Amino acid sequence: MSYDPEKWTVSSNDVLSISIADDDGYTSFKPAFTYPIFGDSEQIFGYKDLKINLAFHYTTFLPFLKVTYSEKLNDEVDDVKDKMLEFLPASTVVDDEQLWVETFKKEKVERGELIAKLDEYAVYKYGFDNEFAVELNKRLQILVLMFIEAGSYIDTSDSLWSLFVMRKDDTIIGFTTSYSYFKYNGGEEFDSNKAIKRRNKISQFVILPNHQNGLHGSQLYQAVINYWLADPEVQEICVEDPNEKFDDLRYRNDFKRLFEEGVLSNLPSSISKLDEAWFVSNAASHKLELNQFKKLVEMGYLYNEN
């Protein structure tokens, strides 16, 4: 047997395949990241012809895991199946595809609170006092590790987390989690106003790769933002560590909303005519962070100039 390390080393991104199974077959794609599971080098040592197949059912996301290889170097190398299972829920069906099919056929989708309907697409909100939501999040969360750099799992025992899921009929298109902080505006206001005020933060946001670039990310974002804009408890909306693509999506959607509402389409002739109080009060009335709002106003001037 050859011990040439190169012959026994593979890229974990290459050998892992994620599939979504629906009634017609499978749609497969590769993960963007596997370092949270297999380490920074994203390599797996000790196997030949290694294949890791992770499949999900398209409505309930029941996971199915199958690991195959032609040779294993010895019993000391990491067990790939065990490594994957550390990040998957206990409900994951391993190896037995027939059992997986029988199990998902028996499962029922619970849709949660309908917050937006967009033709045949809909967005549902779940709190984690709902067992279905806790289990669904356990099934979805490995995608956070595999598609969001520095993504991590959330603690669903904290009731301030929520889950929003976008579906086309029952098919899952994408999801986002959010955290709702209490917003403390200082003692004076707190004492004079007993109403609860919140600062809601979008934390993890994923559109499944087979549904990306169809504006579903924008639709899910708008659904969540409109839901919070209509909620008098929510005072400010923010996003945790957005990446470049998400920033792009957020600016495009926030800009469109403020433009249509007349804030950015009716700006005074020069930005120097706007004082800090105008920025503070308009940012607050649109539930935006001050810096985010200032950037949107700058974009408004650039847009109106052209």
Q: How far is the CB of 237 from ligand ACO (least distance, A)?
A: 12
Q: How far is the CB of 169 from ligand ACO (least distance, A)?
A: 18
Of 109, 215, 274, 299, which one interacts with ligand ACO (CB under 6 A)? 215
Is 76 among the catalytic positions? no
129-168 residues in contact with ligand ACO (CB under 6 A) are: 147-148
Q: 110 burial class (0-12, 13-18, 19+ CB within 10 angstroms)?
A: middle
CA distance 3 to 33: 27
217 binds ligand ACO (CB under 6 A): yes
249 binds ligand ACO (CB under 6 A): yes
Question: Could you say which of 71, 233, 240, 261 is catalytic?
Answer: 240
CA distance 100 to 292: 46
Query: Candidates 14-22, 74-82, 228-236, 247-255 — which segment interacts with ligand ACO by CB under 6 A?
Result: 247-255
Query: Candidates 51-59, 84-92, 197-205, 289-297 — which segment interacts with ligand ACO by CB under 6 A?
Result: 197-205
248 binds ligand ACO (CB under 6 A): yes
Q: How far is the CB of 177 from ligand ACO (least distance, A)?
A: 9
Picking from 212, 115, 131, the residue whose alpha carbon sits closest to that of residue 164 is 115
Q: How far is the CB of 204 from ligand ACO (least distance, A)?
A: 5
259 binds ligand ACO (CB under 6 A): no
Q: How far is the CB of 210 from ligand ACO (least distance, A)?
A: 11
- 3-state per-residue secondary structure call for the chain: CCCCHHHHEEEHHHHEEEEEEECCEEEEECCCCCHHHHCCCCEEECEECCEEEEEEECCCCCEEEEEECCEECCCCCCCHHHHHHCCCCCCCEECCHHHHHHHHHHCCCCCCEEEEEECCEEEEEEECCCHHHHHHHHHHHHHHHHHCCCCCCCCCCCCCEEEEEEEECCEEEEEEEEEEEECCCCHHHHHHCCCCCEEEEEEEEEECHHHCCCCHHHHHHHHHHHHHHCCCCEEEEEECCCCHHHHHHHHHHHHHHHHHCCCCCCCCCCHHHCCHHHHHHHHHHCCECHHHHHHHHHHHHHHHHC
Of 2, 70, 98, 213, which one interacts with ligand ACO (CB under 6 A)? 213
Of 205, 227, 228, 293, which one interacts with ligand ACO (CB under 6 A)? 205
Query: Candidates 64-72, 119-127, 132-140, 206-214 — which segment interacts with ligand ACO by CB under 6 A?
Result: 206-214
Picking from 303, 209, 195, the residue whose alpha carbon sits closest to that of residue 256 is 303
Query: Candidates 97-105, 201-209, 260-268, 294-302 — which segment interacts with ligand ACO by CB under 6 A?
Result: 201-209
* Cβ distance to ligand ACO smaller for residue 148 or 264: 148
239 binds ligand ACO (CB under 6 A): yes
Kindly determine how many residues on this chain lie close enough to bind ligand ACO according to the rule CB under 6 A. Answer: 23
* Cβ distance to ligand ACO smaller for residue 79 or 149: 149
Pairing outcome for strands 63-68 and 71-72: unpaired
Query: Candidates 41-49, 58-66, 241-249, 260-268 — which segment interacts with ligand ACO by CB under 6 A?
Result: 241-249
Site residues (CB under 6 A) for ligand ACO? 147-148, 202, 204-207, 212-218, 239-240, 242-243, 245-246, 248-249, 252
Hey, which residues are catalytic here?
240
